[in-house]
Amino acid sequence: MQIFGFPTSPYVRKVLVIAAEKGVDVELADATPHKPTPEFLAASPFRMMPAMRDGDFTLPDSTAIAFYLDAKYPDPPLLPEGAKMRGRAIWLDEFADTILANSARGVAFNRYIGPALLGLPRNDEAANEAEAKAHPALDYLENLAPADGWLAEDYSLADISVASCLKTLSYGLDVKARPRTAAWLERIEARPAWKKVADLERDTIEGAIASGAHRSS
């Protein structure tokens, strides 16, 4: 199975972690937006990452890929069984993909990803504007973060999507400044699947910086 994308994206990391939790081997394939390969375009006609190819089947969108993986590899499940926690997990996936991701991408792109990977100037004004929007979302999360365990009781899509966004945000902001969030994130980071994806992410960033492949000029 191929996943097209770059792992600093919260959406790409989300599907890489889900695949790792389910023990599915994936190949990370190039999705450089300004130089899209025909293979990437075939899987993602609107040039958004991630996209997936599994045999002759292609699919864009992290949540669509998440549920494809969950249907094909049900163990461990992505969603809790009970109505309340299932609803909460789906809400937190949406919260991560919209409210949190918008500010996380603004902070990370303008403070780190643009300058380090794309050769763009650091844009503090845009980063500060995104950071101002991140704080209410981080306060909301701090209230939800449990003293022990996971965001929707069972470890679920909620933890994966929200922590994936915080990892992107961490490229430009201390995401462990709030104690309950920090303790929950440490439990996440201790999981083997997260360690595996963090290693892949570090190696991919180092490779991109060394080759200059993602630079737009």
Using rule CB under 6 A, residue 62 touches ligand GSH: yes
Closest separation between CB of residue 26 and ligand GSH, Å? 15
Quick one: 116 exposed, middle or buried, by C-beta within 10 A (0-12, 13-18, 19+)? middle
Calpha distance 159→157 (Å, rounded): 6
Neighbours of 188 (CB within 10 A): 20
Shortest Cβ 2–ligand GSH spacing (Å) = 15
DSSP annotation string for 155-212: S-HHHHHHHHHHHHHTTTS-TTSSHHHHHHHHHHHTSHHHHHHHHHHHHHHHHHHHHT
Q: Whole-number minimum distance, CB 62 to ligand GSH, in Å? A: 3
Binding segment for ligand GSH (CB under 6 A), chosen from 61-69, 71-79, 134-142, 172-180, is: 61-69
Binding mask 100-129 for ligand GSH (x = CB under 6 A): -----x------------------------
Contact between 48 and ligand GSH by CB under 6 A: the answer reads yes
Q: At its nearest, how many Å lie between ligand GSH and the CB of residue 179? A: 28
**List 63, 123, 170, 204, residue binding ligand GSH (CB under 6 A):** 63
49 binds ligand GSH (CB under 6 A): yes
d(CA 41, CA 138) in angstroms, rounded, equals 34
Q: Which of 164, 171, 30 is nearest to 113 (CA)?
A: 171
Binding-site member from 97, 154, 159, 201 for ligand GSH (CB under 6 A): 97
C-beta separation of 178 from 138 below 8 A: yes
Tell me if 61 contacts ligand GSH by CB under 6 A: yes
Binding flags for ligand GSH, 8-47, as an x/- string (CB under 6 A): -x-x---------------------x-------------x
